[in-house]
Structure 1
Amino acid sequence: MATQKQRMYGFFMVIVGAAFWGLSGTVAQHLFETSDVSVEWLVTVRLLLSGLLLLMIISAGKNRRAVWEIWKDQKSAIQLIVFGIVGMLGVQYTFLASIGTGNAAVATLLQYLAPVMIVLFMLVTRKNSFQSADICALVLAMGGTFLLLTNGSINNLTVSPLSVIWGLLSAAALAFYTLYSSSLLKKWGSALVIGWGMLIGGIGMSFIHPPWDVDVQGWTISENVSVGFIVIFGTLLGFYMYLTSLKYLFPQEASMLGCSEPVAAVASSILWLGVSFGLYQAAGAACILVMIFVLSQKKSAGKSATLKKQTNIQR
């Protein structure tokens, strides 16, 4: 049982880690708007560097032998490759593509529809029984998404249709990522699976857009700092702080506090980048946040809590 001091430390770690995730989306939007950095290049570099750094950290710790042992298990190795290419790369690319064609606030909130997609999958496959919380979550998700994307008017989308498509694909990719990685995470641990998943996804993306295919000679300090923030704070530290918080908090608590990610994305987009966010959009964002809270408090703690915990370990 964690002490009160340790729990306070856990609260701090999960809130700050999730906020780093949210801020990294806004920084990425700023980078796309002010430079010629492409989504493809940023995805490649983010995954390669973050994956390498995370695996180096694991190699320096007590669990260093597992770094290579995972490849000796043929089933796990195949799952890891699929997870890295389809799951990790799929989530990262679709999310940043949604930001690149729209904005970080809407992209982040759309991605948070993943838990609803997971609930629907579990209900359709009859792996979970239907509960009143599911109905409430679905209504909140649909209503919130409508308000978020239309600002109350069906004749005018607040972001481009392409951004909406990428955002929904991002949620679907995150749902797949969460469900598919369950057995890997249970057997090998989150840090190792995520580290290799990032590196594999980065290597796969390198065949489409090599990391060296970029002109850095004209880069300003702002562009260098932005890329550094996305890799170090928005990926590596965000992930590390969230994992650390799970040592002292229950999964439901960490999931609920992880809502600071979309809050940080929306707030920084409005205050820093001047993104327009109407009253109906704010109501839609609130609906999605309430939906996350409802799902995180479901009493079917087993599968639901585990899936929700995994959903947040993604960025």
Structure 2
Amino acid sequence: MGEKDGAAAKGAAGTGGAAAATAAGTGDALRRGVALVLLGATCWGVNGTISQALMSGYGVDPIWLTTVKQLGSFWLFLLGARVVTPGRLTEVAHDRRALLRILGCSITTIILLQVSYMQAILWTNSGTATVLQSLNLLMVLAYVCVRLRRAPKRREVAGIALAFVGVYLLATGGNPTTLELPAQGLAWGLLTALGQSLLSIVPVRLVERWGNLVVNGLSFLFAGVVLAVFCRPWERVPSLDAAGCALLAASVLVGTFGAYVFYMQGLKAVGSLKATMLGTAEPVVAALTSALLLHTSFSPTDLAGFALIIAMVFVTA
């Protein structure tokens, strides 16, 4: 009996130890995932301020900047795909139908989102543009409700109300007879939200089949080529000093490629819901860096509008 009891105790201890180790490992993975999502969101927020600095300080055209970012980062995604999923990259290169679908996705999502976001920053600032982008959740919600033929739930209705009040405060400053936010800035901000919502819907099946790195690398390549045909970036290169070149390089390496890699890696560990919540760090970082580095001023009603739209994310999610 004593030996059996001792063996059982050792077995229980071993099982408990294995469970504790698994729980610790899961906890570590979750913490790493949270850190990566926050890092990615932070990079995106900083990237908005970098773009604002290039456009306001160096007179960089937003379309030129968008084109250079696409052409400067696509090869990083494809290089990553070549290392991580070489078979998929080779296969998609010989699939004409898949390439056409990715081209269509690039035009309807990447170009719309990137161009409208840069224009929204130009007409407002990085903080406001990024907050307005958060309205994409309402557009995705509308799509889900139509597709599933259901009415919005109570908390979703509450989120819609928060968003409308937040946009109202940003646009009017609380005075319905005035327009504090430029009409162009509001329009481009709403288009940014539309582009972000389409990005959450259109490429889903492509990403499931070919992977994020492959789809985004080719999408950025196609977007950069299409934009280059129209804007001819080589004909109007802005005058950038060393600091300007460093900002441009940071926008490509950190704000585009790095932000995406960090965020998507963290997303695998924390899931879409937590990632959505943690992603609200992006507009906060964009607003803070814009205020601290570029001395952008925000009124109390601006901050209240920001808070309501960010609250909408939590309520709706």
TM-score by length of 1: 0.88
Match of 1:174 among 190, 196, 210: 196
Tell me which moved more, 168-177 or 226-235.
Answer: 168-177
> How many Å apart are 1:37 and its aligned residue?
1.4
Q: Which runs of 5+ in 1 are unaligned?
A: 297-315
Q: Secondary structure at the match of 2:270?
A: coil
Whole-Å separation in 2 of the counterparts to 1:155 and 1:260: 32
Aligned to 1:28: 51
Query: Counterparts of 1:44 and 1:186 in 2: how far apart (Å)?
Result: 27
Cα deviation digits, residues 20-52 of structure 1 (max 9, x gap):
101111111111111131111101010111111
Alignment of 1:63-82 (within 5 A): 63-82=85-104
- Whether the aligned pair in 2 keeps the contact of 1:103 and 1:159 (CA below 8 Å) is no
How has the CA–CA distance of structure 1 residues 112 and 23 changed in structure 2, closer, same or farther, with 3 Å as cutoff?
same
- Cα displacement (A) at 1:128: 5.1
Q: Does 2:108 correspond to 1:120?
A: no
Matched, 1:16 2:39: yes
Written as runs of structure 1 = structure 2, the 5 A alignment for 1:85-100 is: 85-100=107-122
- Letter paired with 2:203: S
- 1:45 has 2:68 as partner: yes
Relative distance call for 1:185 and 1:221 in structure 2 (3 A) is: same
Paired residue type of 1:215 = V
Whether contact under 8 Å (2:41, 2:279) holds in the other structure is: yes
Distance 1:127 1:210 in 2: 45
- What's the CA shift for 1:115? 1.0
Q: Aligned-pair distance for 1:246?
A: 2.1
- State TM-score, norm by structure 2: 0.88
Q: 1:173, CA displacement in angstroms?
A: 1.7
Contact 2:170–2:181 (8 Å) recurs in 1: no
Is residue 144–residue 287 contact of structure 1 (8 Å, CA) maintained in 2?
Answer: yes
Q: Distance in 1 between matches of 2:69 and 2:202?
A: 22
1:224 counterpart (231, 245, 249):
245
Alpha-carbon distance in 1 for matches of 2:293, 2:59: 20
Q: How many Å apart are 1:197 and its aligned residue? A: 1.0
Question: Post-superposition shift, 1:74?
Answer: 4.4
Deviation digits for residues 65-87 of structure 1 (CA, Å, limit 9, x no counterpart): 21132244444322211111121
- Is 1:255 the counterpart of 2:276 in the alignment? yes
Aligned equivalent of 2:161, options 131, 134, 139: 139
Question: 1:127: how far off?
Answer: 5.0
Gaps of 5+ in 2: 1-21
State which of 78, 81, 84 in structure 2 corresponds to 1:55: 78
Q: CA RMSD in A?
A: 1.7
| Greater percentage in helix | 2
Residue 207 of structure 1 aligns to a residue in which SS? helix
Matched, 1:213 2:248: no
- Asked if 1:190 corresponds to 2:202, the answer is no
The 1-side partners of 2:210 and 2:288 are apart by: 36
CA contact 1:7–1:249 (8 Å) conserved in 2: yes
Superposition deviation, residue 121 in structure 1:
2.2
1:165 aligns with 2:187: yes
Q: Secondary structure at the match of 1:149?
A: helix
CA contact (8 A) 1:44 1:210 kept: no
> How far apart, CA to CA, are the structure 1 residues paired with 2:200 and 2:155?
20
Quote the offset at 1:133 in angstroms.
2.1
**Identity percentage over the alignment?**
28
Deviations, residues 119-158 of structure 1 (Å, cap 9, x unaligned) = 1122234355531122011111111111122221223333
Distance 1:114 1:213 in 2: 35
Quote how far apart the aligned CAs of 1:194 are. 1.3
Contact kept in structure 2, 1:51 and 1:199, CA below 8 Å: yes
In the alignment, structure 1 residue 276 sits paired with structure 2 residue 297: yes
Kindly provide the amino acid, as one letter, of the partner of residue 46 in structure 1.
Answer: K
Q: How many residues align?
A: 294
Q: Which amino acid aligns with 1:147?
A: L
Residue by residue over 1:246-300, the C-alpha shift from the partner in whole angstroms, topping out at 9 and shown as x without a partner, is 232122111110111011111111222122211111111111111111232xxxx
In terms of mean alpha carbon deviation, does 125-134 or 74-83 score higher? 125-134
Amino acid at match of 1:231: V
Counterpart for residue 287 of structure 2: 266
2:224 is aligned, of 185, 202, 205, to 202
Distance 1:86 1:39, change over 3 A: same
